Every structure is written in structure tokens, then in C-alpha cells.
Structure 1
């Protein structure tokens, strides 16, 4: 791997890791299109969707791993929420990762664009979080988690960019609780996708190492800064990132 390629992957990892901590996502919403689009702009070899998906899964796994250690110590952390939704997602992500090898590149990109648009629309639905203690429907959490896991497993994502609007709208959680728990759920979900894509040979280690280093260093920094941001700012950042990613892949 040449120096330009290494630096490009490192910068993608740094930005993706920072964003993952800042708003509680795994970074896939930015990492996946960035891996497809940025290397050729700097004179580095282009990646296909399968390798981009594999590299994305490695970045999500390690960036959410680092962020999870910090998040689980926060007041809003809910083991029940994490285990129910995360358990459903890890099963779904394994199924999705296996299914991805049977799909063509255009179909994978189309799935990414569709779920990104759905996530973006959900971000604009205003839901007032209840003041009382929130009771979770375990069955619903598992089923919703499984569905998100299948979709996220196909593109190598942890699914947090879908988890965030779903927890906000469907389960009516406050933004601080969503950010705290979503990154841990995304980590659990990413385990299955990461392992399957590694076995399938879709994760070139020489590229992944620079992506991972940048992510792991900057995810905790993003989490620390994100804890001080108002809900509206965090929602705005997620919405902007989703919009940019959609535009990049469509055009």
C-alpha cells in the first residue's frame, strides 16, 4: 500500500470515528460512500462495493467498541434496551452479511440509499419524550433490531444511523439516551457482520488497519464533545450526514 492510500484511509477513519462518537453512530453513513468515492480522487485504487462494505464493517466494529466503553458508564445507559435490540440486530446482521454475497453491487447501493432516506425522514418527525420511566417492549425491540440488523449487515454497517431515528420516533426516547445506547447497540450488531465479512475475504487488512487506528483514537473524543451538544445540534449533524451520503451515491 502506498503512502497516499494509507493517509486517505487514515483520514476517513479519523472523521468516521469522530462522527461515531459525536452523535452515537458507527460512522458507516459516511465511511461507506467515502471508501467508494474518495480514494480515486487522491490517485489511490478504487474499491468495489463488497470491499467497501467489508472495510466499513471493520471500522464500525472498532469505533463502536471504543465508544461503548465510555457510553456504558453514562447515566442513560440501559442494559435491557441494549441486549434486546442488540441481540436481535446481531442475528439479523449475520443473515444480512451472508445475503450480501448473493446480491449485485447496484442492489446493495440501492438498499443503502433507501434505508438512508427512511432514516432521514424519521429524523424530521417530532416526538415528545415522556417524563416518566420508559418501559421497553422486549419483543418489539428484538424484532425491530432483527430487521435493522439484516439491512445493516448487507452494507456492513452497525445500523446506528437507522437505530437513532427509530429509537427517537418509535420508542420515544430522549436524544441523550438514544446517543448513549445506540453506539453500544451498533457495536453488538457489528460483531456478526464483521466476522462474516472477514471470513468472506472482504476486509483487506492493510487498508483496514489505518481505518481502524483513526476510528479508535477519535471516537472517544467525539463522544466527549457530543455529550455537551444540544439535542437539536446532534439531530442536525446526523441529518446533514445522511443527506450528503445519499447525494454522493445517487449522483
Structure 2
């Protein structure tokens, strides 16, 4: 069943969009990521213009993340205090990101920037997570307990705060900086930023894995909601028809994903996520390197 998307100006199969939304929703519930880092490139692959994909995907992430957070709140695996600190940074970052996005859109360079950002970030994050997950699995098999840093550079910073749910007493500066970087990514790349947020919360802030997923999703809801609003009011690139179809699939998928995630070990989840990240990175890099079938495209003046 073909459906015409008015803002994206393309016709797409409605069931394909529902399926993509469901798939990314499952990943959202399993890994604590908004899923945008996979969904946005998938939208590129089916012909959605990058500017529309970025702005609309931020909208879909809100729904799938909200669905996932409800499941985690029931299990009491959300650190609301840490989530609020990350959120403050995230809102600042999102505002900065939209300013950069609008400037590049006026130059007509936004499509290339978005794709390059994806290749670089997905490549780095995917490789790091893959290596770390392999080491964790190896240590588990040997029976070596995972090394937990009790004191690092994070603990020497001022403005300390106690986060009871995470069992931490650390400076608020690192969480705010993590939030800002994730907010910028949310605006420029149409991602919740979970694929950066989750490793940062585990390795930089030292949070326990079981609390990380729910807390990450809590922060993602508000940052991506704010980003969507800014894109809708400044760029007019949010396609409601596309968002609704992705949203329905995403909400259902997130509930399924949360149930699957509980049954799997943390190391297994991380290595699966790393493989997916690297696969998407490889496909995007190939698309940038291979000569397109059509060398020229017609676009309105100003990159719209």
C-alpha cells in the first residue's frame, strides 16, 4: 500500500515504514538507544531526503523512548536525578545543533554533512563497543571479574552531587557535557544519541548497566521532543504522515524489545549493538564512495 509523504515529496509503502518503526522500537527497548542512528540511515536508503529524515526521526524517537521508559520505571531502573542533569546539557546542545543545521541548510550542504557525521560516529563507536564487548565476554568465560574503576579523573572534579539510584557521588560537569554533545547530535543527525550516551554513562560516569538503559531513554524523550519542535518551527521539515507510521511501529516494538533485553546478558547485548552499528556505517560509507546512478539532481534554491 503506497502512501504519499507531502513534506518528503515521495511515495513509500506504508507497511515498510511500520516494519522499520517496529524493528527500531525493538532495538530501543533492548539497548536503551533511541534507534535513530539506525532508522535515519534506513530512511535515506528508501529515498527520504536527509533533512526530512533527520527532523521526522527525532519525532519517532520520542514515542519509542517513552514506551521503553514506562517499562523501565515499573522496574525502578531509571535514575531520575542523573537523567535531569543529562537533560539540562541535552537541551543546550539541541539548541546549538539546530542553529548549525539551519546554517548548513542555507548553504545547501546539510545532506553531505549528515551522512559524513554518520559514517564517522558510527565507525568509531561501533569499533570501540565491539572490542570492549569481546573483552568482556572473554573475561566472563575465564571467570575474571570485570574491573570497575573506583576513582578516575571524573571523581576529582568540583560541584559533586549524589545519585542514589546509580550509587554514585560525582561532579555534575561530565553528565552535563555528555548531555550537550548528545543534544547537538540529536539536532544534526536526527538521533536520540543513545549510541553515544550509553557507553559514556557506563565508562565515563561509571553507572551500573541495569540503570543506564532506562536513564538514557528518559533523557532522550525530552531532548528529541525539543529538537523536533525546533525543526518543525524553523525548518518545516517534519513529515507528520511519515512520523505517525514510524511511531506506531516504534511503540509496539519498544515493549517487545524491553522484554527481550531483560533475558539477555549485558555483554551479548553490547556486541549485537556494535555489529549493527558497524553494518550501517559500512553501507553509508559505500553509498558515499560509489558513483550514484543519477549524477545530477534538481533542488529548489537554498537547498530546500
| Alpha-carbon shift at residue 117 of structure 1 (Å) | 2.5
Partner of 1:187: 221
Answer 1 or 2: which has greater helix percent.
1
| Alpha-carbon shift at residue 130 of structure 1 (Å) | 5.9
Residue 208 of structure 1 pairs with residue 243 of structure 2: yes
Measured against aligned partners, the alpha-carbon deviations of 1:17-48 in whole angstroms (never above 9, x if no partner) come to 111011111011210111011x2xxxxxx211
Partner of 1:43: none
Within the candidate set 222, 228, 234, 2:257 is matched to: 222
Distance change >3 Å, CA 91–CA 74, structure 1 → 2: farther
Give 3-state SS (helix, strand or coil) of 2:119's partner. Answer: helix
TM-score (norm 1): 0.89
Distance change >3 Å, CA 20–CA 85, structure 1 → 2: same
Partner of 1:94: 95
Measured against aligned partners, the alpha-carbon deviations of 1:169-188 in whole angstroms (never above 9, x if no partner) come to 11122322222211112212
Partner of 2:208: 174
Partner of 1:250: 285
Partner of 1:2: 2
Give 3-state SS (helix, strand or coil) of 1:157's partner. Answer: coil
For residues 118 and 73 of structure 1, the distance between their equivalents in structure 2, rounded to whole angstroms, comes to 34
Matches within 5 A, 1:123-138: 123=129, 124-125=131-132, 128-129=147-148, 133-138=167-172
Measured against aligned partners, the alpha-carbon deviations of 1:176-232 in whole angstroms (never above 9, x if no partner) come to 222221111221221221111222221211121111110011112211221221011
Give 3-state SS (helix, strand or coil) of 1:102's partner. Answer: helix
Distance change >3 Å, CA 115–CA 218, structure 1 → 2: same
Unpaired runs of at least 5, structure 1: 40-45
For residues 86 and 237 of structure 1, the distance between their equivalents in structure 2, rounded to whole angstroms, comes to 27
Matches within 5 A, 1:22-61: 22-37=30-45, 39=46, 46-61=47-62
Measured against aligned partners, the alpha-carbon deviations of 1:63-113 in whole angstroms (never above 9, x if no partner) come to 111112222233332112100112211221132123212222111211122
Measured against aligned partners, the alpha-carbon deviations of 1:100-139 in whole angstroms (never above 9, x if no partner) come to 1222211121112222223224423467346893223212
Distance change >3 Å, CA 73–CA 236, structure 1 → 2: same
Within the candidate set 102, 117, 120, 1:111 is matched to: 117
Matches within 5 A, 1:78-93: 78-93=79-94
Answer 1 or 2: which has greater strand percent.
2
Give 3-state SS (helix, strand or coil) of 2:169's partner. Answer: coil
Please tell me whether Structure 1 or Structure 2 has the larger radius of gyration of its CA atoms: 2
For residues 91 and 226 of structure 1, the distance between their equivalents in structure 2, rounded to whole angstroms, comes to 31
Give 3-state SS (helix, strand or coil) of 2:168's partner. Answer: coil
For residues 193 and 281 of structure 2, the distance between their equivalents in structure 1, rounded to whole angstroms, comes to 15
Residue 165 of structure 1 pairs with residue 199 of structure 2: yes
Question: RMSD in angstroms over aligned alpha carbons?
Answer: 2.0
For residues 98 and 255 of structure 2, the distance between their equivalents in structure 1, rounded to whole angstroms, comes to 27
Within the candidate set 188, 197, 215, 1:154 is matched to: 188
For residues 221 and 68 of structure 1, the distance between their equivalents in structure 2, rounded to whole angstroms, comes to 13
